[in-house]
Amino acid sequence: MENEDYVGCVVPYGLRDKWKLQRLPDFKGIPLVLKKFGNEIDFCHYDSDKSYTGRAWASPILWKALRQGGYFISDDINDNIAFKDFCQAVNRVPIIIKHQDKYVGIIVK
């Protein structure tokens, strides 16, 4: 998708040896990665399947693994109402950030 130069750009150089890009479909990749972290994460930035169905499948799985006080961020929430529906399901009021006609949603567990 012509974004290879940006993948992992926020990972500090001192941590890159601990970082690995997982190139699998969400259905396989998310459970695999969560298992590697013992199904406990502190931070999640979901920037994958943008369809309603994809988000509706992934968000609860990621939320369950997210520790209390952890951050869940979802890109391009203006594509559909999946993030809105998820926030209602987990009883959270999101922070919404607009950047160049796109919206990012953030909730804290």
Give me the domain span that covers residue 101.
38-108
How many contiguous H segments (helices) and E segments (strands) does the chain have?
3, 4
Q: Which amino acid is at 90?
A: V
CATH number at residue 56: 3.40.50.150
**Number of domains, the chain:** 1
What is the pLDDT, as a whole number, of residue 5?
Answer: 81
Mean pLDDT by 10 residues, the chain (109 residues): 79 89 91 95 92 97 98 96 98 96 97
> Average pLDDT, whole number, for the chain?
93
How far does CA 95 lie from the centroid of its chain? 15
Q: Which amino acid is at 8?
A: G
- For the beta carbon of residue 19, count every other beta carbon within 10 angstroms: 10
| pTM listed for this prediction | 0.88
